[in-house]
Amino acid sequence: MKKRINIRMSGLGGQGVVTSAHLMAMAAAHEGKFAISNPFFGAEKRMAPAESYVRIGEEKIYDRGELVFPHVVMVYHPQVITMGKSYTMPFYSGIKDGGLIIINDDIELLTEEEKEDLAKKKVTVYYVPATKIALELAGTELATNMGMLGALAGLTHAVTMDGLDKALQDRFGKKYVASGGTATLDEAIKKKFAKKEMLLQKNLETIRRTFDEAEVYAKKNPTFAVNVS
């Protein structure tokens, strides 16, 4: 059976969760893989719960909609965990055995019960201070999603840096047309920089930093591997 990885991204409105899913799917397509991304959210406003799903595989993918059994769960904001701002409770509900959780923070957020539950399923929990890195390298928290994508790619190799670079060029370097709140967010990001070239450079630097750090982690932990199927 050919491999496929299912990714659930959970965050709050305005964090670029929808954009992240689009970029992952576009990066996969550039590498000759099949991919489908779709968002899931209620009120389209900042700080409201938002989710996106990405399915990447070596064969055509026909199912879409809510992703119930992910290999990877990405948490873009601590409140997804600490305040239950998630459409699935607990936030890691349905994660497959041997899966991966990526959390945007540098402090422990899980309870002892949650850690025990995940340990039974042999799930790896990886913390990455994506917002801090985005502020350091890009000068804006709007690049947080880039840091999260870098960590995802570095840990799973679901896509490469080259694929992400091409996806960024497609999304921000050309006449990409988005709708609704996503379009508004894209415009806010573009206005943060004087030139699109600067936007692309800063986003790529953010992705590269977290990609490299995640890849080092994966190499230093030889038993780590996302159980894709």
pLDDT in tens, 18-68: 999 999 999 999 999 999 999 987 655 567 889 999 999 999 998 888 899
pLDDT score recorded for residue 63: 87
> Is 130 inside any structural domain?
yes
Mean pLDDT of 211-225: 92
| Mean pLDDT lowest among 95-109, 177-191, 200-214 | 177-191
Residue 172's SS3 state is: helix
> Is 229 inside any structural domain?
no
Q: Is the predicted pLDDT of residue 180 greater than 60, yes or no?
A: no
> Is 62 inside any structural domain?
yes
> Is 227 inside any structural domain?
no
| Mean pLDDT lowest among 17-21, 190-194, 216-220 | 190-194
Q: Which two tokens stand for residue 87?
A: 């459409």
pLDDT score recorded for residue 87: 87
pLDDT score recorded for residue 225: 87
Domain that holds residue 156: 4-220
Rounded to 5 degrees, φ, ψ at 7 are -125, 130
pLDDT score recorded for residue 115: 97
pLDDT higher at 193 or 167: 167
> Is 28 inside any structural domain?
yes
How high does pLDDT run on average in the chain?
A: 89
pLDDT score recorded for residue 177: 46
Q: How far apart are CA 99 and CA 123, in angstroms?
A: 5
Mean pLDDT of 195-221: 91
Percent of the chain at pLDDT exceeding 70? 87
> Is 26 inside any structural domain?
yes
How many helices, marked H, and strands, marked E, lie in the chain?
A: 8, 6
- CATH (domain of 207): 3.40.920.10
Q: Is the predicted pLDDT of residue 215 greater than 90, yes or no?
A: yes
Rounded to 5 degrees, φ, ψ at 38 are -155, 145
pTM: 0.89
Q: How confident is the model at residue 107 (pLDDT cuts 50, 70, 90)?
A: very high
pLDDT higher at 183 or 94: 94
Mean pLDDT of 138-152: 96
pLDDT (tens digit per residue) in 57-84: 999 998 888 899 999 999 999 999 999 9
> Is 179 inside any structural domain?
yes
> Is 199 inside any structural domain?
yes
**Tell me, what DSSP letter sits at residue 197?**
H
pLDDT (tens digit per residue) in 119-133: 999 999 999 999 999
pLDDT score recorded for residue 222: 81
CA atoms within 13 A on the CB side of 126: 31
pLDDT higher at 1 or 6: 6
- Pairing type for strands 34-41 and 49-57 reads antiparallel
Domain tally for the chain? Answer: 1
